[in-house]
Structure 1
Amino acid sequence: MAHGPDGPAAAPEAAQGRGMGSEPALHAHGIVKRFGPTLALDGVGLTVRPGESHALVGRNGAGKSTLVGVVTGLHRPDAGAVTFGGAPAPAFGDRAGWQSKVACVYQKSMVVPDLTVAENLFLNRFEGERIRWSRLRRRARDLLAEYGVNVDPDARAGQLPVEQRQFVEIARALSFGARLIVLDEPTAQLDARGIQRLFTKLRELQAQGVAFLFISHHLQEVYDLCTAVTVYRDARRVLTSSVADLPKDELVAAMTGERAGAAGTSWRAASGPARTSSEPALRAEGLALDGEFEALDLAVHPGEVLGVAGAAASGNTALGETLAGMRRAGAGRVTVQGRAVKPGSVPHALDAGIGYIPEDRHRQGLVPDRSVAENATLTVTDRLGPWGTVLPSRTREFALSMIGSLDIRTRGPEQPVSGLSGGNQQKVVVARALARTPVVLVAVRPTAGVDVKSKDALLGVVRRVADEGSAAVIVSDELDDLRVCDRVLVLFHGRVVAEYGSGWTDRELVAAMEGVRDVEGVERTGERS
C-alpha cells in the first residue's frame, strides 16, 4: 500500500507490528531546508520503525543527503520537526545528544586505519583520563560480542575487510545508545559475499530492535533487505510503500516521474556498438582496472557521442579516467585512430588526441590563482612561442579565440579564473580540453555544479565537437548529460550490462543504472555473480 506526498507519513503496515514499541525510531515531519535560493527539502517526511530497514531512494538532487543531514544533526531545518522514539531531537549542536540517538555509516569508512579496533570504538571518550589498556580491550571485546561482531579488538582497523570496518562503526554507534543507524551506500565497496555478510548482520541487529535507514543506488538491494521504501524526487516526498507491495517498475517510475510502461526503445544486451564504415576514433579492447571495472570493449566513431552511464561504484568514472590516461589499466589497451596510447600517461593521451574534462574542476581542472588565459592554454604551451618559450601575445590571442568560441563571461583573458562563476569556470576547463583540437573528447560529469543555462551551453559544445567530425565520450549519472548522446552504455558493478540507442526513457536507463532486475524493458541487468 503506497502513499502519495499528501498521504500518511507513517511507514506501511508491513513495517509495523514488530512488538518493539509503538513509537517510531525516527519521525521527521514537514521538513523544509533551503541553501540560499535553492529549496533542498520541501515539506518532506519520513518514518522509520524499530527493527525496520527502511530505504530512502531518489535520483541525484532529490534531497536524500540533505534529509540525512537534518536527521543526524548536521543541518538545522528551516521548518518541521524530528523525533526519536517519540522524544524531540536534541538541540542543534548538542553532539553527545545526537550521538545517543542516531549515527551514520558512510560509503567511505570513517575508522582511523592506524588505530586498533578497540581504540576506534572508544575514540575521544577518555579526554583527560588515564587509559587502562587492558580494561579498554576487555570492554571492546564485550561490546563486539554483545552485537555479535567477530573482530579482534587488537587488530589494526585499516587491515580489516570493508564490511568488518562497517561492523565496527555500527558497534561504536550502538555503544552510545543510538538505535537508528543511517547506512549511506554501504555496499559500494563490497563484493557479493561481503554484501551477504553485511545484510546477515543487519538482520540480526534488526531482531534486537535496531532500525536502519538504508540509502543505496542499487535498487535490487532495497528488495533484498528492506521492508519499506520512501522515494524523494525534486526535494519532495512522492511515495512511501511496503517493499513487498511495490513492483519494481513502479518504484523506478516514482523516482523518474515517468509512468511505468512509457514508450521507449527496447533494451538489448551489450554486444558492441553498431558498425559504421569509418575507423573508430577511440577503441578500448579488453580494458580492465582491478577493483573498478572488468574487461570491456568499446568503440567511438567520428561524429558520435557515446554515453557511459552508471551510479555510485559502477566503475564508469574510473573508466573515463583510464581512457584519458589518469589511471593505468591493469589489462587491455586503448587506441586512437589505430595508434596505441601508453597506459596511465596523460601526456601521451594528449599527444594521441584525447581531450579531457575532469569530474572535479576545482581539484583537477583549474589553477585558481592563475588567469583565464593561463588556464585555457595549459595543454598548448608548446605552441605559444618558439623553442619552448611562451609569448604573452600568443597566449592572449589564443585565449581570446576560446573566450569568443565558448562565450566565457569574463572581464578579459587576464582575469583570475577564481573570479568567474561556476559555469564559466567549467567553460575554461572545456577550453583547455579543446585547445589541441582533440580526436576524441572524454568528459566526466561535465555539467556538475553549474546552472541550467551553462549546462545547456556545455552539452551543446560537446555535441558540436562530434558534429564537426571528432568523437566524444560523456561519463555521467545525470540523465540530462546523457540525452545528447547517440548511444549509452550502462555499467553496474564494473560490468557493461546494457546499451541503448538515442531513444531511451528515463525509466529504462535508471533501472539499468540502479541494478533493478525484471523490470519491463530491462532484462536482469543488475545480477551479481
Structure 2
Amino acid sequence: MTAAREPSRVPVAEATGLSKRYGATVALHEARITVLPGETHALVGRNGAGKSTLVSLLTGLQKPDAGALAFHGEPAPAFGDTAAWRSRVACVHQRSTVLPDLTVTENVFLGRQSPSPLRPIRWRELHRRAGELLAAYGVDVDPTRRAGDLTVEQRQFVEIARALSLGSAFVILDEPTAKLDARGIERLFGKVRELRRQGVAFLFISHHLREVYELCDRVTVYRDARHVVTAPVSELGRSALVEAMTGEPESAAARNRTASVRTPGRALLSVDGLTLPGAYRDLSFTVRAGEVVGLAGSASSGAVRAGETVAGLHRAGSGRIEVAGRAVRGGDVPAALEAGIGLVPEDRHLQGLVTGRSVAENATLTVRGRLGPFGTVLPSRSREFTERMIEDLDIAAPGPGTPVAALSGGNQQKVVVARALATDPRVLVAIRPANGVDVRSKEFLLGRIGRAADEGGAALIVSDELDDLRVCDRVVVMFHGRVVAGFAGGWSDGQLVAAMEGMAGPREEER
C-alpha cells in the first residue's frame, strides 16, 4: 500500500471546497477528496451523505456551485465537454447504464464503435475484443447476445468491462459489488489490484466495510454533505469508521446483531418439488408463521430465481407452492399478491421503482384498489396512507409527492420495502433487501422485515450476504440449483460460506 505513503505525488483527482445545492437541499458543502496514483481510495458514508453528488461532479454530469476539481494537476474540463471528461475519468455507476435492447458488444463499446464516423464499424473485431474483456473476469457470454437477457451479475461485468476498457488512469467504482456473488467479487478485486500495479487509481464506494479493509489504501468519510475524515485504512478501526459515518458510537447491538427468539407456528409458505429448468430442481422447504428463513446461495445457485418464482415472476416447470395450505398459481404476480405474498425485488432500479413517479405513487402501487371507490384513487387517502408508511419505514422524504428519484439509495430501498409491506402480506419474500444501503439503514430494514414475522407473518430472505442471513431463524443453502445444507441459529460464518461454495455442511431436519 505504497500509495498512502507517497502524498507528494501529483493526485490523479483532487476536489477542494466542493459545494452543491438542489433547491433547499444541501447536497455537498465544502467537501474535499484527494486520490493518488496507484491507490484504491474508499469513499464511505450513510445514504444521503453526498457520495452520489460527488460522483456526478467528478464525472462532469453536474456542475459544482463552488469549489475546484483537478485531474493530474490540471483543471477539470469545461462542463459539457463529454469526450474530455471520459479521457480523465471512467465510472461504473451504482445504477446500471447497460441498455437492455443492445448487444453485449454494443454496450461495451457504446459511442466508440469506430475511431471515425467515416470508417465502417468492424463488428467481428469488436465482438472479439468484448469477449476478451469479459473473459478476463471469467464471464463467458456471447458478445452478440442481447444485454437484457443476461443475469444481473453478467450485466454488472459488462458495465465494469466498459468502464475499464476506456483506459483512464482514474476509475470510480460506485457500489460495484452490490450485484456480485463471492466469486464475482474476487474476480473484480483481482483485476483492480492488477490495474493498480500499473498505476491506475480507483475511487471505491461501498457500504460493505469489510471490502474497504480488504481492498483499499485510504478511506474518506462524508457525513451530512461534509467531509469528516481521511485516513489510512490500517489506522482507522471499524468502530471508529462507523462512528465517523454516523456521528455516534457503534452500538453493541449493531456489532452483535442476531435473530430474535421466535416460536414458529403453522406453515405459511410451503414449496414442494419446485423445478425451473436451467435454474433449480426439486426444491422443497417451508417457512412458518413467526419465522424468518434465509435462502442462501451465490448468483449461480438458483436462489434468486427460486425467490422470484415464489413471488410469481417465473412459472416453474413442476412442483407446488402453497400459502397457508392453498395452492398459488405459478408465473402470475397478481395471483401471488392475492395469496398474500409480498416481494422486495433484487434490483430496485430495474424491478422495484418507477423512477419518474412520486414516493406515494411507488409506495401504493400494490394497494391502489384500497384508496378509493370503484377503482378510483382519492388523493387524500393516498397521501394519508403514504405518510403512515414514511413514518413506519423512517423514509427521509419531504412528503408523499417527492419524486422517488430525488431520494438517496437507502431511502429508495425503504420505499420498495414499504410497498411490499403495504398489503400486509402473509409471506414477505425479500431478495438481498439491504443491497446498497448504509450500516444503519441496513439494520433498520432487516429489523423491519423481522417485525413482519414477529407480528405473525413469515419472511423469506434470499441473499448471500452474511449480515442479511444473521437475522434469520434458520438458513437453507442452495448450490447449483439444489438444496445442499440447512442451518439452525448459531451457525458460523465459515460453515455457511463453505456450504454456499459447494462444500456442504450439515442438513437440519425439516420442521
With normalisation by structure 1, the TM-score equals: 0.61
CA distance in 1 between counterparts of 2:286 and 2:294 reads 10
Pairwise CA distance, 1:15: 1.2
Counterparts of residues 461-500 of structure 1 (less than 5 Å) = 471=426, 473=428, 475=430, 476-477=433-434, 478=441, 480-481=444-445, 484=448, 485-486=450-451, 492-493=463-464, 497-499=469-471
CA distance in 2 between counterparts of 1:346 and 1:103 reads 39
**Could you tell me which residue of structure 2 aligns to residue 52 of structure 1?**
39
**Could you tell me which residue of structure 2 aligns to residue 17 of structure 1?**
6
2:10–2:72 Cα contact (<8 Å) kept: yes
CA distance in 1 between counterparts of 2:383 and 2:344 reads 15
**Could you tell me which residue of structure 2 aligns to residue 227 of structure 1?**
217
Counterparts of residues 31-50 of structure 1 (less than 5 Å) = 31-50=18-37
Q: Given the alignment, which residue of 174, 177, 186 partners 2:176?
A: 186
Q: Given the alignment, which residue of 145, 165, 168 partners 1:172?
A: 165
Verify: 1:68 aligned to 2:47, yes or no. Answer: no
1:474–1:481 Cα contact (<8 Å) kept: no
- 1:189–1:265 distance in 2 versus 1, CA, 3 Å: closer
1:23–1:49 Cα contact (<8 Å) kept: yes
**Could you tell me which residue of structure 1 aligns to residue 415 of structure 2?**
447
**Could you tell me which residue of structure 1 aligns to residue 93 of structure 2?**
106
Pairwise CA distance, 1:194: 3.5
What is the alpha-carbon root mean square deviation over aligned residues?
Answer: 5.5
CA distance in 2 between counterparts of 1:522 and 1:46 reads 40
Verify: 1:326 aligned to 2:316, yes or no. Answer: no
CA distance in 2 between counterparts of 1:166 and 1:122 reads 14
| Residue segments in structure 1 that go unaligned for 5+ positions in a row | 1-11, 381-391, 411-420, 427-443, 450-454, 502-520
Match of 1:186, SS? coil
Q: Given the alignment, which residue of 342, 357, 362 partners 2:354?
A: 362
- 1:333–1:50 distance in 2 versus 1, CA, 3 Å: farther
Pairwise CA distance, 1:523: 6.6
Q: Which amino acid aligns with 2:336?
A: A
2:342–2:427 Cα contact (<8 Å) kept: no
Q: Which amino acid aligns with 1:209?
A: G
Match of 2:415, SS? coil
Pairwise CA distance, 1:82: 1.0
Verify: 1:244 aligned to 2:212, yes or no. Answer: no
**Could you tell me which residue of structure 1 aligns to residue 263 of structure 2?**
275
Match of 1:183, SS? strand
Counterparts of residues 95-494 of structure 1 (less than 5 Å) = 95-106=82-93, 108=96, 110=98, 114=103, 116=105, 120=109, 123=112, 126-131=115-120, 133=122, 137=125, 156=144, 165=158, 168-174=161-167, 178-263=168-253, 266-268=256-258, 274-276=262-264, 278-282=265-269, 299=287, 301=289, 322-328=309-315, 334-354=321-341, 360=352, 362=354, 378=369, 395=374, 407=384, 423=400, 445=413, 447=415, 471=426, 473=428, 475=430, 476-477=433-434, 478=441, 480-481=444-445, 484=448, 485-486=450-451, 492-493=463-464
Match of 1:274, SS? coil
CA offsets 1:370-426 (integer angstroms, 9 cap, x no match): xx9x9965589xxxxxxxxxxx9x517x866x955973699xxxxxxxxxx971699
- 1:68–1:336 distance in 2 versus 1, CA, 3 Å: same
With normalisation by structure 2, the TM-score equals: 0.63
CA offsets 1:192-248 (integer angstroms, 9 cap, x no match): 343333322222221221111112333322222211122223322223221222223
CA offsets 1:5-53 (integer angstroms, 9 cap, x no match): xxxxxxx9861328xx711111111211112222222222111100011
- 1:125–1:264 distance in 2 versus 1, CA, 3 Å: closer
CA distance in 2 between counterparts of 1:226 and 1:30 reads 24
Match of 1:214, SS? strand
Pairwise CA distance, 1:492: 4.5
Q: Identity, % of aligned pairs?
A: 38
1:163–1:194 Cα contact (<8 Å) kept: no
Match of 2:230, SS? strand
Match of 2:470, SS? strand
- 1:497–1:180 distance in 2 versus 1, CA, 3 Å: same
Match of 1:62, SS? coil
- 1:350–1:474 distance in 2 versus 1, CA, 3 Å: closer
Q: Greater CA radius of gyration, 1 or 2?
A: 1
- 1:330–1:242 distance in 2 versus 1, CA, 3 Å: farther
CA distance in 2 between counterparts of 1:231 and 1:275 reads 41
Q: Which amino acid aligns with 1:221?
A: E
Pairwise CA distance, 1:498: 0.5
Match of 1:46, SS? strand
| Residue segments in structure 2 that go unaligned for 5+ positions in a row | 388-397, 404-411, 435-440, 474-489, 502-511
CA distance in 2 between counterparts of 1:92 and 1:100 reads 14
**Number of residue pairs matched?**
424
- 1:228–1:319 distance in 2 versus 1, CA, 3 Å: farther
- 1:316–1:237 distance in 2 versus 1, CA, 3 Å: farther
Q: Given the alignment, which residue of 73, 78, 81 partners 1:86?
A: 73
Pairwise CA distance, 1:118: 12
Pairwise CA distance, 1:336: 2.1
CA distance in 2 between counterparts of 1:445 and 1:149 reads 29
